[in-house]
Amino acid sequence: MKQLLIALLTTASFLFAAPPLKVGMELAYPPFEMSQTDGTPSGVSVDFAKALAKELGRELVIENIAWDGLIPSLRTGKVDLIISSMTITEERKKSIAFSVPYAQSNLAILTHPKAGVQGIEDLNQKGKRVAVKKGTTGHIYAAANLPSAQLLVFDRENAAILEVIQQKADGFLYDQLTIYRNWDRHQEATVALLKPFQETPEYWGVALRQSDTELKAQVDTFITKAKKDGTFDAFSRTHLSKARETFDGLGIPFFF
C-alpha cells in the first residue's frame, strides 16, 4: 500500500508540475542579453528571467532568437515571454501585451570625431548618413524624424557600429547603454552623445500574449516587488556598475 501511495503521489506530481517557462531573447546585446564563451546565456535579462522563474516555481528555458523573430515566436507559442530589452510601443501593443515597465531608457547617438555632430538636429541634414538596426526604436525614430538624412538599415547592431567607426555613417541611433558601451570600447574612433533628445523616455517591458492575463498578473507582481526590494539594483551593481557611475556623473537617469 505504501509503495502504491508513493507511486500515485509521484504520478500526480508529474501530471500537475508547472510547465517550463520559455523565455525568448536575442543573446546579442551585452550586458543585458549575451552568451558566455561556452554558450551559456548571461546578463541582466538572464538574471531577471532566472529570478522570475524561481518566483513562479517553474523551470527556465531560454530560447536565443533573432530580434525580428521574437514577436512571431511569442505569438505562435514557441516562447511564453520575451525579456530582451524590448521597448513598450503602441504599435507593438496592437499584437502583444506588455508587463508594467521594469526599466527606462532614451535613445542616444554614437558618432565619430569628424562628423561634426553635436546633437540630433545635426543628423537631419542632406548628406548625413544615419545607421540604424532594423525594427528598433532607433529605426522608427529616424524614419519619422530625420527626413533629410540617408538611413542605412542593418540587421545587426555590430554592422551599424562598424559603419560609424569606419566613418561611413555619421551617426548610429540606439539606447544609451549600447552607445556608452561601444564608445568605451572605441574611444578614439567614436563620440558618445548620451544626453536624451526625446521628449519622454522609452520604457522596457516583458512581452506576453494578449490572452495570457494570469501570467501577466504574475509578472507584474514580481516586477513591482523586485523594484522595491532591491533586486533590480542588485542586477545593475553586478553588470552595470561602471556605466551607472558615468550616467550619475552626467545627471542622466539610469535604467532601474
Has residue 248 got a pLDDT over 60? yes
Euclidean distance between CA atoms 13 and 18, whole angstroms: 9
Task: Compute the distance between CA of residue 77 and CA of residue 72 in angstroms, rounded to an integer.
Answer: 9
CATH number 3.40.50.880 is the correct assignment for the domain at 16-104+201-250: no
pLDDT tens digits for range 156-190: 999 999 999 999 999 999 999 889 999 999 999 99
pLDDT grade, residue 3 (50/70/90)?
Answer: low
Q: Mean pLDDT, to the nearest integer, of 214-220?
A: 98
Same topology between domain 16-104+201-250 and domain 107-193? yes
pLDDT number for residue 14: 41
The CA-atom distances, in angstroms, between 217 and each of 35, 45, 81, 220, 224 are: 29, 19, 13, 5, 11
| Topology (CATH level 3) of domain 107-193 | D-Maltodextrin-Binding Protein; domain 2 (3.40.190)
User: How far is Cα 56 from Cα 58, in angstroms, rounded to an integer?
Assistant: 6
Query: What is the tens place of the pLDDT at every residue in 71-101?
Result: 999 999 999 999 999 999 999 999 999 999 9
Domain boundaries defined on the chain: 16-104+201-250, 107-193
Question: What percentage of the chain has pLDDT greater than the value 90?
Answer: 79
